[in-house]
């Protein structure tokens, strides 16, 4: 009998990890990994962190080297785009004019940077070439305007300041990172960038960008710089899923096993809007941990098992002297409790609802993610005063 073919669309971290997981779980058939970039699959976080700052090599970004794919008999097709899926025929059409039959299919198409309508000359940071361009800019430019004070915008601003550029950040919300952290903790990041010399324009919209060097704000302010970079979010790459009739909404809708509305098609990473058993709703998370960990669950499903993805949303950042990790979700929180030295940026923050921990963030405090995770998972009411007391061990509070 001919061995089955499993196709993975999207050759980023999620796609590469999906192919790897299939081999690790004993799949011996044909695996084809399709990616529209010319590079080997690579990890994106360093593009706005260590690689952008010159502290990581290009080789360190790659999930595996070329030899690994050959040894694992994974057919990597860089520079090729999937243009359509015929679900009835179990066939994927490719931009090079060929097609592939599949028994099971994994969508790992990721997300793309949101663009600013009508803006000219604006640069975005999503791909390796974008980070390379910025690194080159750091050696020649004296100033930069960053549009958007989310994670990408602030990490780019931090890297530019470390490189010696004058940096201005423009954000329409009253504080950076309000959707991700709420106003109480957002203030920490505003202070961090102010203390490092970033000029923050908060609560103001961009009216016009000209030639990538001149930004006019809605309040009449005009900003001049050598470059303008926008970090205004990302949108999931769902075009191919929509076109073939898969259920989608803010990503491709999948169950807890990462199966789409078609039982032979799965999705993982930035594009997957997955039902989360702990949170009891669908969640789409655009962070490295999902792209790293979801593919193993999807691979199990492709092999006929019913594993469940129930990891809590996790992300991290490094900006100047601040390193942090975040677990959970702040949706519906009614208070924030701090433990430690907030002005000194060495603390843990907890988001609570009805005294139950929804999320925790450790800033320059390490080896605490497991007790924070246990607190979030427990759903038990916790005395906020005990959470705030650094003399009360987190392990004790997290114990059942």
Give the tens place of pLDDT for each residue, 216-256: 999 999 999 999 999 999 999 999 999 999 999 999 999 99
321-398: CATH, from 3.10.580.10, 3.30.390.30, 3.30.565.10, 3.40.50.300: 3.30.390.30
Region 5-112+234-302: CATH code = 3.50.50.60
Spatial separation of the C-alpha atoms in residues 229 and 121, rounded to whole Å: 9
Q: What is the mean pLDDT of residues 80-85?
A: 97
Q: pTM for the whole thing?
A: 0.94
Residue spans of the domains in the chain: they are 5-112+234-302, 123-230, 321-398
Spatial separation of the C-alpha atoms in residues 243 and 240, rounded to whole Å: 5
> What is the Cα 70 distance to its own chain's centre?
28
Specify the DSSP class assigned to residue 332. T
Domain 5-112+234-302 and domain 123-230 have a common topology: yes
Asked: is 123-230 a CATH 3.50.50.60 domain? The reply is yes
End-to-end CA distance of the chain: give it in Å, rounded: 52
Structure tokens at 393: 């061990």
Q: What pLDDT is attached to residue 120?
A: 84
Spatial separation of the C-alpha atoms in residues 256 and 253, rounded to whole Å: 10
* Cβ neighbours for 347, distance < 8 A, ≥ 6 positions apart: 338, 339, 340, 341, 362, 363, 364, 365
Helix 128-138, helix 151-162: angle, nearest 10 = 30
Q: What is the mean pLDDT of residues 73-92?
A: 97
Query: What percentage of the chain carries pLDDT values higher than 90?
Result: 96
* Cβ neighbours for 65, distance < 8 A, ≥ 6 positions apart: 40, 59
Structure tokens at 141: 């430019």
- pLDDT tens digits, 34-82: 999 999 999 999 999 999 999 999 999 999 999 999 999 999 999 999 9
- pLDDT tens digits, 93-144: 999 999 999 999 999 999 999 999 888 899 999 999 999 999 999 999 999 9
């Amino acid at each position: 009998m001919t061995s089955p073919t499993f196709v993975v669309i999207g050759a980023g971290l999620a796609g590469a990890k999906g192919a790897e997981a299939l081999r690790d779980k004993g799949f011996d058939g044909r695996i084809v990994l399709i990616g529209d970039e010319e590079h080997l699959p690579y990890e994106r976080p360093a593009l706005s962190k260590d690689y952008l700052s010159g502290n990581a090599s290009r080789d360190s970004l790659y999930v595996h080297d070329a030899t690994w794919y050959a040894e694992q008999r994974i057919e990597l097709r860089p520079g090729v785009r999937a243009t359509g899926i015929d679900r009835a025929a179990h066939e994927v059409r490719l931009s090079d004019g060929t097609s592939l039959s599949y028994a099971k299919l994994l969508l790992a198409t990721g997300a793309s940077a949101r663009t600013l309508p009508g803006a000219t000359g604006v640069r975005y940071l999503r791909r390796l070439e974008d980070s390379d361009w910025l690194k080159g800019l750091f050696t020649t430019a004296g100033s930069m305007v960053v549009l958007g004070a989310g994670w990408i915008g602030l990490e780019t601003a931090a890297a530019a300041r470390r490189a010696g550029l004058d940096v201005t950040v423009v954000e329409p919300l009253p504080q950076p990172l309000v959707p991700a952290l709420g106003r109480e903790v957002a203030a920490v990041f505003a202070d961090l960038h102010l203390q490092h010399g970033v000029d923050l324009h908060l609560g103001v919209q961009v009216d016009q960008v000209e030639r990538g060097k001149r930004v006019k704000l809605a309040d009449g302010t005009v900003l001049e710089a050598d470059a303008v970079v926008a970090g205004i979010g990302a949108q999931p790459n769902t075009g191919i899923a929509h076109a073939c009739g898969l259920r989608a909404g803010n990503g491709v809708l999948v169950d807890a096993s990462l199966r789409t509305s078609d039982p032979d098609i799965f999705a993982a990473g930035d594009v997957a809007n997955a039902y989360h058993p702990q949170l009891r709703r669908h969640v789409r998370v655009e962070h490295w941990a999902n792209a790293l960990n979801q593919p193993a669950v999807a691979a199990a499903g492709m092999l006929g098992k019913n594993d469940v993805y129930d990891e809590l949303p996790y992300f991290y950042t490094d900006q100047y002297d601040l390193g942090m990790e975040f677990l959970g979700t702040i949706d519906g929180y009614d208070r924030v409790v701090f433990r430690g030295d907030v002005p000194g940026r060495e603390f843990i923050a907890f988001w609570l609802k009805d005294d139950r921990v929804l999320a925790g963030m450790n800033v320059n405090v390490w080896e605490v993610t497991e007790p924070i995770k246990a607190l979030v998972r427990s759903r038990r009411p916790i005395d906020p005063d005990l959470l705030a007391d650094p003399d009360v061990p987190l392990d004790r509070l997290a114990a059942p």
